[in-house]
A and B are shown apart, each in its own frame.
Chain A
């Protein structure tokens, strides 16, 4: 059974930083493209970032470029999202997901409220 478990969310002040983690099991993590997707309160789903299996190709939505960094540790089967210069509009539930042209496996999400 595939399991993706996010952690690291929590209240942060605007301008602050936070690092999210996603522990993966039940899949061949080292061969998987991985992503972060978020949902702001009362809003729709928004893709945030994707990383390839080797970690040498990274893609971001424009609104987080230069502020967020996606990374991975294949030995630890873990995905990360380093978030800096956080803004109120970054307030959301952040989901970790495997990307295969679609997002086929998802974690339960971790809430990141940003206070201004």
Chain B
């Protein structure tokens, strides 16, 4: 079973600042890694697939990088609507798994 560890648990930033979120896998997932944004009462929204490809309609301020076991989601300049919880997810092995999430909150 692959465990995904996200850090930090909470990121307190101001609009316009850069956010850097980390996801570490307990074993290699190659590039089968996705990132999601989740807001209360809403469905999760796919941001990044294949570790670094933006999903349809996702703004260019969101970018993903990494392969193997270490991955990063970067939001280059936070907009007010970006304050949410972010999850990584691996699609390499069964059982599928999500990280515990990083909450990006307004400082």
B residues neighboring A (CB under 8 Å): 32, 34, 36, 38, 42-46, 49-50, 55, 85, 87, 89, 91, 94-101
Contacts and interface: CB of A to CB of B under 8 A. Distances in A.
A107 B96 CA distance: 19
Interface string A53-77: 0000001111000000000000000
A102 B95 contact: no
A106 B44 contact: yes
A45 B38 contact: yes
B104 to A, nearest CB: 15
Given A101-B34, A102-B34, A102-B49, A47 B44 contact: no
Nearest to A98: B46
* Interface residue range, chain A: 20 to 34
B49 A101 contact: yes
B91 A45 contact: no
Contact of A59 (B38, B45, B94): B94
A44 B46 contact: no
Interface string A89-116: 0000001000111111011110000000
Given A101-B32, A102-B49, A47 B96 contact: yes
Contacts of B99: 44
Q: Is the interface of B mostly helix, strand, loop or mixed?
A: loop
A103 B91 CA distance: 9
B91 A102 contact: yes
A106 B38 contact: no
Contacts of B46: 102-104, 106
Contacts of A103: 34, 36, 44, 46, 89
20 contacts: A44-B101, A45-B89, A45-B98, A45-B101, A46-B98, A47-B96, A50-B96, A95-B44, A99-B91, A99-B96, A101-B34, A102-B89, A103-B36, A103-B44, A103-B89, A104-B49, A104-B55, A106-B46, A108-B43, A109-B43
